[in-house]
Amino acid sequence: MRFLPDQGSTRAAVIGMGYMGSTVAATLAGEGVDVVGIDVDPALIAQLEQRRCPFSEPGLPELLHSGLDSGRLRVTTDYGEVSDADVVIIAVGTPVQDTRLVDFYLRAACTKLAGQLREGQLVILKSTVPPGVSRKIVAPLLEGGGLAVGEDFGLAFCPERLSEGRALHELRTFPIAVGGWCPDSAAAAAAFWQRTIDAEIIICGSMESAEMVKLANNWWIDHNIAMANELAKLCAVLDVDVLQVIAAANTMRKGTGNVNILLPSVGVGGSCLTKDPWMAWRAARDHGVELATIPVAREVNDAMPGYTVDLITEELARAGRPLADAKIAVLGVAFKNNTGDLRATPVLPVVTGLREGGAEVAVFDPLADAAEVEKVFGVAQAQTAREALAGADCIAVLARHDEFAEIDFVALRESVAPSCVIVDGRAYYSPETIDRFRRHGFSYRGIGR
């Protein structure tokens, strides 16, 4: 097969050993692939070499460590290692600023890579990009080394669609969309994923089509959550539990599956949903098409932290406690449940809003890096949940990690204020748990509940 050896074990290089690159590299090494992970950040490479995984992802530290221990995974800052690989996967960051792609990292990676490519290799771009970037930016930069794409080396775009917290499982089980520069490139990329993680493959008609798959996925998710958030606002004023409505609504069959309204929450954060829809919006505008739904969904979701601050303020007032005199314990500061990732976390604007209202705010997140919490939130986090809760007028659960299930607020009743309010930003407590809170003198409010 062109661009992939027919026999023997496949060797891969992963460029960009951040959250996504490390997950892909560790998974491939776990499947027996000889992998070299390359990153420009020497501190990150040193951390990984010392078996310190900076990413909070269930199972990832163990997988990275076993790959490193076995020698199937090596990490380096040296691009020279690329020449030994059969397949080179690009996983560098692709942020967006003012709705436009910041292509600096991608350009730098492709420029460096160009000087190292050799004939017969396959390059797979996994970073999320607007349509046309693989063809118009990546391909010409890679050709800068003197080799011709489609002739001397293959090129494919395969979006990464995993979500944090379930990444290792999703990486192995989600179908992989493949868009090739040419049919040989697409065939080689498909064969690579089949051989390594035995993934179901969806061949897209072009690289642009595969690029759009990823953007369509995140556009849909962001839009769906915006609808759930507005549904929650309506249910709140009707005194209807939004989760009951969603559970029942989702039993209706539609299209090839069921209606699938996602869950309302304190807000949408993370490094993908906050930027990827803008890539689609900007691409449309650059082609003379004005998309209306993307700015609306982003606006709705970005307003949820403010809505949460108002909800906390209201509930405290109902309990006779002005926000300015209140102590609030925030449990979970990451951008969603079961991750320690603080990138674009909606909890930050909530904490800022509460502080601006004069409240004292203690924060605790067992999954987040303590130094990172201090940097982002400007305050050292409590050592334990119990310490954060001491004397609290409000417990705001804004990311509910599985380990919070062990904290029994009722058992800690004496440690918090008599009129303590529990505000549920995404814990989605069951009606039985909520009843139990109320029986023990807590008041309870959730988003749309």
**Residue 147 per-residue DSSP state:** P
Query: Taking the complex as a whole, how short is the minimal distance between the CB of residue 161 and ligand NAD, in angstroms?
Result: 6
DSSP 89-135: EE-----EETTEE--HHHHHHHHHHHTT--TT-EEEE-S---TTHII
Interacting span for ligand NAD (CB under 6 A) from 157-165, 190-198, 362-370, 371-379: 157-165
92 lines the binding site for ligand NAD (CB under 6 A): yes
- Should residue 15 be labelled a site residue for ligand NAD when binding is judged by CB under 6 A? yes
Distance of alpha carbon 347 from alpha carbon 339, whole angstroms? 13
Q: Quick one: tokens of 109? A: 């990676």
The single residue among 86, 143, 164, 208 that binds ligand NAD, judged by CB under 6 A, is 164
Q: Is residue 180 involved in binding ligand NAD (CB under 6 A)?
A: no
Least spacing, CB of residue 318 vs ligand NAD, in Å: 38
Query: If you compute the radius of gyration of the chain from its CA atoms, what whole number of angstroms results?
Result: 24
Interface with ligand NAD (CB under 6 A), residue total 26
Member of 160, 315, 365, 393 binding ligand NAD (CB under 6 A): 160
Out of 14, 109, 210, 389, the residue judged to bind ligand NAD by CB under 6 A: 109
Query: What minimum distance in Å lies between the beta carbon of 274 and ligand NAD?
Result: 10
Q: Closer to ligand NAD at the Cβ: 373 or 421?
A: 373
Distance CA 358, CA 346 (A): 19
Task: Quote the CA–CA distance of 219 and 96 in Å, as a whole number.
Answer: 15
Report the C-alpha gap between 108 and 77 in whole angstroms: 14
Residue 19 found at the interface with ligand NAD (CB under 6 A): yes
Select 68 or 362, whichever has its Cβ closest to ligand NAD.
68
Please identify, using beta-carbon distances, which residue of 44 and 373 lies nearer to ligand NAD.
Answer: 44
Which residues contact residue 55 at a Cβ distance below 8 angstroms, ignoring those fewer than 6 apart?
Answer: 18, 19, 22, 23, 341
Give whichever of 273 and 316 is closer to ligand NAD, judged by the CB atom: 273
Which residues, including other chains, have CB under 8 Å from residue 69's CB and lie 6 or more apart?
Answer: none
- Of 10-18, 170-178, 221-229, 309-317, the window that binds ligand NAD (rule: CB under 6 A) is 10-18
Residue 331 in contact with residue 396, Cβ under 8 Å? yes
CA distances from 139 to 51, 123, 183, 383 (A): 35, 10, 15, 49
**Rounded distance between C-alpha atoms, residue 97 and residue 288, angstroms:** 20
Query: In the 8-state DSSP scheme, what is residue 149?
Result: B
Q: Which of 94, 313, 345, 381 lies at the binding interface for ligand NAD (CB under 6 A)?
A: 94
Candidates 88, 89, 139, 162: give the one binding ligand NAD (CB under 6 A): 162
* CA distance to 308, 407, 412, 414, 429, per residue, from 389 (Å): 19, 11, 8, 10, 18
Q: Does 20 bind ligand NAD (CB under 6 A)?
A: yes
Q: Is the dihedral of CA 219, 224, 229, 230 positive or negative?
A: positive
Window 24 to 63, contacts with ligand NAD (CB under 6 A): 38-41, 44
Number of alpha helices (DSSP H) and beta strands (DSSP E) in the chain = 17, 17
Residue 345 sits in the site that holds ligand NAD (CB under 6 A)? no
Q: Cα 340 to chain center, whole Å? A: 10
- Beta carbons within 10 angstroms of residue 355's beta carbon: 17
Q: Token match 């689609």: residue? A: 280
**Residue of 10, 116, 121, 127 interacting with ligand NAD (CB under 6 A):** 127
Q: Which residue's Cβ lies closest to ligand NAD? A: 18
- Asked whether position 91 contacts ligand NAD by CB under 6 A, the answer is yes
Give min distance, CB of 216 to ligand NAD, in A: 14
**Part of the chain binding ligand NAD (CB under 6 A), chosen from 103-111, 139-147, 235-243, 385-393:** 103-111
Cα angle: 323, vertex 327, 329; to 5 degrees: 120
Q: Is 130 in the site for ligand NAD (CB under 6 A)?
A: no
Among 272, 363, 367, 395, binds ligand NAD (CB under 6 A): 272
Per CB under 6 A, 447 contacts ligand NAD: no
Q: Would you call 156 helix, strand, or coil by DSSP?
A: strand
Closer residue to ligand NAD in complex, CB, 211/424: 211
Q: How far is the CB of 427 from ligand NAD (least distance, A)?
A: 22
Min dist CB 113 to ligand NAD, Å, is 8
Smallest distance from ligand NAD to CB 270, Å:
7
Q: What's the closest the beta carbon of residue 40 comes to ligand NAD, in angstroms?
A: 4
CB of 94 to ligand NAD, least distance (A): 4
Binding residues vs ligand NAD (CB under 6 A): 15-21, 38-41, 44, 91-94, 105, 108-109, 127-128, 160, 162, 164, 271-272
